[in-house]
Structure 1
């Protein structure tokens, strides 16, 4: 059975943004009069739990500081946006090759992210020239589903909107939690961890890829 649809998952499957995100957090702390500095190892551990404002609140409880976590997080979001628009972001290795090969072969291409619509728009702006919006047959966001990953809702929506059966689809995910969402929706999943998840354990049945290439479209699916 050949692949009829290939679905990139979280934003980190398209571009590595963890270091820019960390820079944006640390800048927000300075803007808020805090002497906090999140180093890379600490930040990567924090990423195992979702929610930027919650990370700030949890960290404040550890340090004993009284902070307005939502306000600090809003500064972080603004900083991240400014950094991405100023510098742009580069696609991860092999992403463009997979998208181009899929389009040439008539394979549906989706981006099954459950992040905020504003983040989707920002990522596409940062990737402009490398990956246009028109490259995708489907682009998800958190407003399309009741439950975000690791719930399978966004993948079910992607399949319904593209007309691809789960048994004919392949997902690419960068964290174990997001991979669980794809598997729960019945898709085969390839693990493509970024810097933050490179040492983490993915669910069984998710082969690990350090880079992507067009041969991914030859991945065997269940008969």
Structure 2
């Protein structure tokens, strides 16, 4: 692991600061701008099932407020009353499985790239001995295909936990998927940072007690992610800084482990002062 100065290590110990132990990533929109491929796969699946349904981008942006692909189709049937909806309801699970196969084919065709800073930060965390986890509503097969395409098949072994799909009963914005990931990691929420792109994801992570770095994606750029510790255009790269939108400012202009440790210390200190009746807003403003 990278060396921390004796002074900073001693200061952290004396202050009771938790070390950074794990990074937990959402998948779609966070690791890569995958939603357009999901949209294409849904439309292809609809055609394959003899339906004339088409989800244009504006409609899909609205539908993304519903987490989970199967749930999204059911919501569409219930609220938009498309032609053939009554008959299609009985085939939703089959239709969604078909859509997943089509999406994985698009990913493996190389039609997606990681968002700026994602590959670098994951590699840095792995090399530093931090634990890595996934917390997502998408299916495990989608996660495996994306990680394999972005980083390589070896990246799958870097992740201690892949919490995906229907492994928990309630999907985001419920906290269940993050609670599950934390249990499997064996880490306290105060020792982890979550990465999200949506209001539903941020809400789930915050309810689980996690500090969040939000990088709003194309389809969810209007989402309210103000509960995040830091809101950025992306994770940034050396020589290509991220644009800070709100919250914590990373000194190097991109998200790195040292900056995450400092951000986490600040978030935990604010939480501590809030729980003891202090004034976290005044303290944060003074820093």
* TM bracket, shorter-chain basis: 0.7 to 0.9
1:42 CA drift (Å): 1.4
Residue 143 of structure 2 is aligned to residue 120 of structure 1: yes
Say which is worse superposed, 183-192 or 201-210, in terms of deviation: 201-210
Aligned with residue 65 of structure 1, among 83, 89, 93: 83
User: Gapped runs of 5+ residues in structure 1?
Assistant: none
1:54 CA drift (Å): 4.3
RMSD: 2.5
Distance in 1 between the 2:123 and 2:50 partners?
46
1:187 maps to which residue? 210
Contact 1:6 1:107 in 2 (8 A): yes
Contact 1:117 1:143 in 2 (8 A): no
Contact 2:125 2:257 in 1 (8 A): no
Say which is worse superposed, 124-133 or 111-120, in terms of deviation: 124-133
Superposition TM-score, scaled by structure 1 size: 0.85
Q: Aligned ranges for residues 1-223 of structure 1 at < 5 Å?
A: 1=17, 2-60=19-77, 62=80, 64-67=82-85, 68-69=88-89, 70=92, 71-87=94-110, 89-129=112-152, 132-212=155-235, 213-215=254-256, 217-219=258-260, 220-221=263-264, 222-223=268-269
Superposition TM-score, scaled by structure 2 size: 0.68
1:83 CA drift (Å): 1.6
Contact 1:180 1:203 in 2 (8 A): no
Say which is worse superposed, 200-209 or 177-186, in terms of deviation: 200-209
Larger radius of gyration: 2
Count of matched residue positions in the alignment of Structure 1 and Structure 2: 223
Distance in 2 between the 1:153 and 1:56 partners?
22
User: Gapped runs of 5+ residues in structure 2?
Assistant: 1-16, 236-253, 270-287
